[in-house]
Amino acid sequence: MTTHTVVGSPVGELVLVADGGALSGLYFAHRHRGRPAPEAFGAREDAGFGAARQQIEEYFAGERREFELPLAPEGDAFHRKVWDLIAAIPYGRTRTYGELAADLGDRQLAQAVGGAVGANPLSLVVACHRVVGAGGRLTGYAGGLERKRFLLDLEEPAEEKEARLF
């Protein structure tokens, strides 16, 4: 049975969707390109999301770098491969679409990788904000570039922040 809840965060309200006890979606409530229709979220049920809520709070407090939640994203085999590559990007680091395409064996897949990144149903948890354009350019993000910048700034290592000051 699919259920959802809404939680607050520094980047606005987040809609968490679960199916059979596993997180199947995490969307920005008020602006999320490609988000399913609200009817797909099932009934609102605030119980059962305690671990996800706690881990999201810890992430924004700078106390968590990896999420440890059962996940059930829906996607085809290609999407799942790309999402696995995204999930392997360490906290505070970025990769380009081209690098992910090369990891899949063909740099020509960069646009297809972009499509799979954009279809990621688990924002924050499968940290697609860590995928950037060539040369580190900020490009598309389902929640908007201002949220992407906020999340990258949140994760930026302290020594890199300090180095930018001088």
Mean pLDDT of 96-118: 95
Name the pLDDT band for 31 (thresholds 50, 70, 90): confident
Report, in angstroms and rounded to the nearest whole number, the Rg of the chain calculated over CA atoms: 16
Name the pLDDT band for 162 (thresholds 50, 70, 90): low
Name the pLDDT band for 161 (thresholds 50, 70, 90): low
| Domains of the chain, CATH where assigned | 2-60 (3.30.160.70), 77-164 (1.10.10.10)
What pLDDT sits at residue 127?
A: 96
pTM of the model: 0.90
Tokens standing for residue 166:
């001088």
> Which are the catalytic amino acids?
128
Percentage with pLDDT > 90 across the chain: 77
Instruction: Say how many residues make up the chain.
Output: 166
What pLDDT sits at residue 157?
A: 75
26 Cβ partners below 8 Å, 6+ apart? Answer: 14, 15, 16, 17, 52, 121, 122, 123, 124, 125
Mean pLDDT of 137-149: 90
